[in-house]
Amino acid sequence: MSDRLADVCVVGGGFAGLMAARALTRAHKEVVVLEARDRLGGRVHTLSFEGAPLDLGGQWIGPTQDRIERFARTEGFDTFVTHGEGQHLYVSGNKTKRFAGTIPPLGPLALGWLGYGWFELDRLAKQVPLDAPWTAKRAREWDGQTLATFLDRHVRSGSARKMFRVAIETVFACDPEDVSLLHALFYIHAAGNLDMLLSTDKGAQRDRFITGAQPVAERLAENGGATIELDSPVRRIEQLRDGVRVSASRMTVRASRVIVAIPPTLAGRIDYDPVLPAARDQLTQRMPQGSVIKCLAVYSEPFWRREGLTGQSLSSDGPLHVTFDASPKSGSPGVLLGFLEGTSARKLADRSTEERRAIVIDNFARVFGARAKNPIHYVDRCWASEPFTRGCYAAYLPPGVWTSYGAALRTPIGRIHWAGTETATRWNGYIEGALQSGERAAAEVLAELA
Amino acid sequence: MSDRLADVCVVGGGFAGLMAARALTRAHKEVVVLEARDRLGGRVHTLSFEGAPLDLGGQWIGPTQDRIERFARTEGFDTFVTHGEGQHLYVSGNKTKRFAGTIPPLGPLALGWLGYGWFELDRLAKQVPLDAPWTAKRAREWDGQTLATFLDRHVRSGSARKMFRVAIETVFACDPEDVSLLHALFYIHAAGNLDMLLSTDKGAQRDRFITGAQPVAERLAENGGATIELDSPVRRIEQLRDGVRVSASRMTVRASRVIVAIPPTLAGRIDYDPVLPAARDQLTQRMPQGSVIKCLAVYSEPFWRREGLTGQSLSSDGPLHVTFDASPKSGSPGVLLGFLEGTSARKLADRSTEERRAIVIDNFARVFGARAKNPIHYVDRCWASEPFTRGCYAAYLPPGVWTSYGAALRTPIGRIHWAGTETATRWNGYIEGALQSGERAAAEVLAELA
């Protein structure tokens, strides 16, 4: 096997790795990107059906996500606003209600508690320093409890708590029982506030790429000029006296430094020589990926629009708790998007696509009526089953991890630097965070190479 | 590289893997055990200093640990009772108090809360079914909170809570903030009750092997008659139509079935083909190993005994929170054992042995006086730094894991079976649990091969 030579080797061809590679090639460094899959984009993957792009992974960008917005604009990737004309649906048992905006039509008491919990989370989130959440004044207290414990204590209405569960699933792809309150507060603060995370018309679900999202990642690669090697899962990273040797299945790259830009749990599976320090290894033992299955049903037209519906719905019944209109800009064909998240995703992850299809289509029909029963196409993606992702949207931190291991998250180890959206301080978990992390890791490397 | 042939391949030469191998060879199966290290025993490792055994890993057995007790007795491994003559020390700030038994000399109010919390934990633990903790009636509620949340709510005395912190560290090698209440209750029930876990004279710290513990593991291997291959870390497991191919660095074993008997987080790092289902992979993302550094200081004699002390001490000051007399049966030399656990271990894991030595010896001297300042020998073991363990005593489950992923813990996947103390239903986390798990996995395999 021949050794390839480069200044820097980047592990992972998602937005984080590609952004790092681009920043380095712009500074005239030779870069080899090793990507495990036969495609670029990582957690972003666009298929097409009869000419219409179908995003099976990340698809949205929104206000204050400046890096991705700027890159897309410069490179001529036009966006359009997620279909929002009409009313959303709120489904509870046999009842379906129409509503507008982010807040579902609950009773006044539940709405009061929903508002109070929302306000408290936003208020506490602001107290979490984004670059070092473990230094928050109340860090130990917040990191010692789950988000479920917070809701139990502060939201004294069952229906308001149910809505919070849905909101938390939608953001973290896990249940409130799984995640540290401190992590939830950090994540909210990293996005700005809860509304930025949850809102479609004013937040993270606002804009979509006309081409779908994956071509944007591909452009980032072309634009960067690094050498890209697909089908190259990295198994081993050796630190030598004067550089690193990164071994993938088909090739070995020798470089001065390496940037590892893959989910933390996968970074922890690489064989390192010398072995990594305890703090880093134990950190990656404690950063599980969320659980989400993204489900898309294609119809000859977006029939719900003619009934004055946006295609957005909310329900605590499930298994789908939220849906969106994912039709292309033209509106033809019509595409309904449903997310299976947290427990729903875990229950259905290891079923066949056919079984899931039946369950999901039945759920769409319960929300949008009989016309939803006969899609012309169905596709879904269980990200936890993907060996080179193992869960989406991102890693979440269970209780105790930020306060005990947070300092190990970005700290380079010798010649190894860490990128990936999980290492971002703004829009952690999003494409924007991936880009920020790539920039930051590239800057670290450039400072060392200078 | 030559393919070795066997009926069954066992990954891991700790007590679990060796017990499985022994049960299989007794049923006339050919077994190859692949062990990553250059020694057997896994989390049990005995060094010697001037003829005295020094256990750097597991060292105790206790009442109701029937499998290990029976094996040791049959094979002529004599045990002796952990030195307990005299009084224990309780250190708080500048004050040192002597006491006897398991309960430290707190004020009456703190003792009341300590007793109440203890009673409640034991009472709730009994409600957790050992083979399926997620089916407990209140499983979701208990699994949705940390043990710290339980203590906050139910133990309304600061000094009682501090003692619980020490007890929890001692058992789980993590902080109450890290662990699910449901997991804590399961673990208590798996041992019987809290007293069985914590007590020296009546519980899990009662008996020691005269030879140290590792020779017992080695005898299990000899006695079994399987082929043992050391220095053989397993990188890949392929499931073929008619068997498995298990690839280690130096060799490949073809067998009908494989038993993976290593910590779950390490089992998750093996490259499987076909890839494992989502539920199994996400489970091993969520089973971190605890954090403990075992520290031993050797003195020409156990000087504390002449002062009427057992060598056992308790303190919430730290960094050592508990100590023991770890002298050999003869009482010469004298050995003090101190544990750095949870946060203490995390802080000191990546320091040099010299730095840790200074800190630990200083701590021994604060508890046992100036004579502790000059040991003739010092040795410690940070288990989180060991690439083939990555943390001790065992894995613990953060909130949400038992209820979402518990069913994947022991379920075989095709021709792959799972052992290791983390899969045990009795004495989970202990040598006894490892033996139970090896027996159970061997029985599964025998049922398939029959």
pLDDT at B16: 98
pLDDT of residue A102 exceeding 90, the answer is: no
Length of chain A: 450
In three state form, how does the secondary structure of A119-157 look? HHHHHHHCCCCCCCHHHCCCHHHHHCCEHHHHHHHHCCC
Element (H, E) at B247: strand B244-248
**Candidates A149, A281, A399; nearest CB to B178:** A399
Q: Is the dihedral of CA B372, B374, B377, B380 positive or negative?
A: positive
**Residue A69 forms part of a structural domain:** no
In sequence order, the 6+-apart residues with CB closer than 8 A to the CB of B2 are B251, B252
Whole-angstrom Cα distance, residue A146 to residue A155?
14
Query: Tokens 């020409």 belong to which residue?
Result: B300
∠ CA B27-B33-B39, nearest 5°, is 130
| Residue B146 to residue A144, Cβ atoms within 8 A | yes
Q: Are residues A369 and A295 in the same domain?
A: yes
Is some CB atom of chain B closer than 8 A to the CB atom of A399?
yes
- Specify the amino acid at residue A350: D
Query: Tokens 């992923």 belong to which residue?
Result: B405
Pairing of strands B87-92, B95-99: antiparallel
Q: Are residues B295 and B272 in the same domain?
A: no
When divided into structural domains, chain B yields a total of 3
- Collapse the DSSP code of A185 into the 3-class scheme (helix H, G, I; strand E, B; otherwise coil) and give the result: helix
Residue of B nearest to A179 (CA): B399
| Residue A398 to residue B286, Cβ atoms within 8 A | yes
Q: Are residues B239 and B167 in the same domain?
A: no
pLDDT at B212: 98
Domain end position, chosen among B345, B364, B385 = B385
CA-to-CA separations, A255 to A35, A244, A260, B284, in angstroms, rounded? 16, 5, 13, 32
Is some CB atom of chain B closer than 8 A to the CB atom of A263?
no
Q: Are residues B17 and B59 in the same domain?
A: no
- Test the A interface: residue of B146, B154, B352 with most A CBs within 10 Å: B146
> What range defines the domain where residue A303 resides?
46-60+81-85+203-209+290-385
pLDDT of residue B199 exceeding 60, the answer is: yes
CA-to-CA separations, B139 to A120, B180, B181, B186, B218, in angstroms, rounded? 28, 10, 9, 10, 40
| Residue A174 to residue B286, Cβ atoms within 8 A | no
**Residue A97 forms part of a structural domain:** no
**CA Rg value for chain A:** 22
∠ CA A196-A200-A206, nearest 5°, is 90
Whole-angstrom Cα distance, residue A346 to residue B278?
8
User: Phi then psi for A381, rounded to 5 degrees?
Assistant: -140, 115
Shortest Cα–Cα distance, B129 to chain A (Å): 20
**Candidates B149, B346, B390; nearest CB to A149:** B149
Question: Tell me, what CATH number does B34's domain have?
Answer: 3.50.50.60
In A173-318, alpha helices (H): 181-191, 194-198, 214-224, 264-267, 278-284, 303-306
Is some CB atom of chain A closer than 8 A to the CB atom of B281?
yes
When pLDDT is averaged across residues A233-241 and rounded to a whole number, the result is 97
Domain end position, chosen among A191, A224, A242 = A191
Greatest Cα pair distance, chain A, in angstroms, is 69
CA-to-CA separations, A359 to A143, A293, A313, B278, in angstroms, rounded? 36, 13, 17, 19
Confidence grade of residue A1 (pLDDT, cut at 50, 70, 90):
low
- Collapse the DSSP code of B36 into the 3-class scheme (helix H, G, I; strand E, B; otherwise coil) and give the result: coil
- Test the B interface: residue of A141, A149, A351 with most B CBs within 10 Å: A149
Confidence grade of residue A318 (pLDDT, cut at 50, 70, 90):
confident
Question: Tell me, what CATH number does B320's domain have?
Answer: 3.90.660.10
pLDDT of residue A357 exceeding 80, the answer is: yes
User: Phi then psi for A367, rounded to 5 degrees?
Assistant: -85, -45
Do B415 and B28 contact (CB within 8 A), yes or no? no
Element (H, E) at A418: strand A416-418
pLDDT of residue A450 exceeding 90, the answer is: no
Within B278-394, strands assigned E span: 292-299, 309-315, 322-325, 334-341, 377-382
Length of chain B: 450
| Residue B390 to residue A176, Cβ atoms within 8 A | no
Whole-angstrom Cα distance, residue A256 to residue A416?
10
pLDDT at B3: 86
pLDDT at B102: 82
User: Phi then psi for A361, rounded to 5 degrees?
Assistant: -65, -40
Shortest Cα–Cα distance, B442 to chain A (Å): 26
**Residue B377 forms part of a structural domain:** yes
Neighbours of A37 (CB within 10 A): 19
Do A12 and A420 contact (CB within 8 A), yes or no? yes
**Candidates B275, B385, B399; nearest CB to A398:** B399
Domain end position, chosen among B385, B417, B438 = B385
pLDDT of B231-260, one tens digit each?
Answer: 999 999 999 999 999 999 899 999 999 999
User: What is the DSSP track for B101-143?
Assistant: SSS----HHHHHHHHHHHHHHHHHHTTS-TT-GGGSTTHHHHH
**Candidates B145, B275, B287; nearest CB to A148:** B145
| Residue A391 to residue B282, Cβ atoms within 8 A | yes
pLDDT of residue B262 exceeding 60, the answer is: yes
When pLDDT is averaged across residues B294-302 and rounded to a whole number, the result is 98
**Residue B256 forms part of a structural domain:** yes
Q: Are residues A281 and A407 in the same domain?
A: yes
Whole-angstrom Cα distance, residue B324 to residue B333?
14
- Structural tokens at position A348: 């259905």
Is some CB atom of chain A closer than 8 A to the CB atom of B384?
yes
User: What is the DSSP track for A307-354?
Assistant: TTEEEEEEESS-S--EEEE---TT--SEEEEEEEETHHHHHHTTS-HH
Q: Which of residues 284-303 of B touch A (CB under 8 A)?
A: 285-289, 291
Whole-angstrom Cα distance, residue A104 to residue A198?
12
Confidence grade of residue B224 (pLDDT, cut at 50, 70, 90):
confident
Q: Are residues B352 and B268 in the same domain?
A: no
Residues of B in contact with A175 (CB under 8 A): 144, 400, 404
Q: Which of B57, B51, B56 is nearest to B330 (CA)?
A: B51
When pLDDT is averaged across residues B358-382 and rounded to a whole number, the result is 98
Q: How much of chain B, in percent, has pLDDT values that exceed 70? A: 100
Residues of B in contact with A238 (CB under 8 A): none
In sequence order, the 6+-apart residues with CB closer than 8 A to the CB of B339 are B169, B170, B292, B293, B294, B295, B320, B321, B322, B323
pLDDT of A187-228, one tens digit each?
Answer: 999 999 999 999 999 999 999 999 999 999 999 999 888 999
Q: Please give the ipTM for the structure prediction.
A: 0.97
User: What is the DSSP track for A62-121?
Assistant: -TT-HHHHHHHHHTT--EEEPP--SEEEEEETTEEEEE-SSS----HHHHHHHHHHHHHH
| Residue A404 to residue B346, Cβ atoms within 8 A | yes
Q: Which of A435, A422, A61 is nearest to A212 (CA)?
A: A61
pLDDT at B1: 57
**Residue A390 forms part of a structural domain:** no
**Candidates A145, A277, A350; nearest CB to B148:** A145
What is the reported pTM? 0.98
Question: Using the 8-state DSSP alphabet, how is residue A414 labeled?
Answer: T
- Structural tokens at position B370: 């100036």
Q: Are residues B379 and B417 in the same domain?
A: no
**Residue A412 forms part of a structural domain:** yes
- Test the B interface: residue of A162, A169, A177 with most B CBs within 10 Å: A177
Q: Are residues A184 and A125 in the same domain?
A: yes
Question: Tell me, what CATH number does B163's domain have?
Answer: 1.10.405.10
Chains A, B: CB pairs < 8 Å: 149
Whole-angstrom Cα distance, residue B293 to residue A196?
44
Q: Are residues B318 and B438 in the same domain?
A: no
Whole-angstrom Cα distance, residue B254 to residue A269?
24
pLDDT at B63: 97
Q: Are residues B284 and B294 in the same domain?
A: no
pLDDT at A3: 86
pLDDT of B391-447, one tens digit each?
Answer: 999 999 999 999 999 999 999 999 999 999 999 999 999 999 999 999 999 999 999
Q: Are residues B307 and B375 in the same domain?
A: yes
Residue of B nearest to A269 (CA): B269
When pLDDT is averaged across residues A281-296 and rounded to a whole number, the result is 98
**Residue B92 forms part of a structural domain:** no
| Residue A399 to residue B398, Cβ atoms within 8 A | yes
**How many C-alpha atoms does A116 have within 13 Å on its Cβ side?**
16
Burial class (CB in 10 A: 0-12, 13-18, 19+), A357: middle
Shortest Cα–Cα distance, A201 to chain B (Å): 32
- Test the A interface: residue of B281, B351, B402 with most A CBs within 10 Å: B281
pLDDT of A362-405, one tens digit each?
Answer: 999 999 999 999 999 999 999 999 999 999 999 999 999 999 99
**Candidates B178, B269, B384; nearest CB to A269:** B269
pLDDT of A108-162, one tens digit each?
Answer: 999 999 999 999 999 999 999 999 999 999 999 999 999 999 999 999 999 999 9
pLDDT at B318: 85
pLDDT of residue A2 exceeding 80, the answer is: no
| Residue A146 to residue B148, Cβ atoms within 8 A | no
Q: Are residues B282 and B325 in the same domain?
A: no
**Candidates A143, A285, A391; nearest CB to B288:** A285
Do B253 and B32 contact (CB within 8 A), yes or no? yes
Do A402 and B178 contact (CB within 8 A), yes or no? no
**Residue A29 forms part of a structural domain:** yes
Q: Each residue of B332-354: b (16+ CB within 10 Å) or e?
A: ebbbbbbbbbbbbbbbbbbeeee
- Specify the amino acid at residue B215: P
pLDDT of A38-49, one tens digit each?
Answer: 999 999 999 999
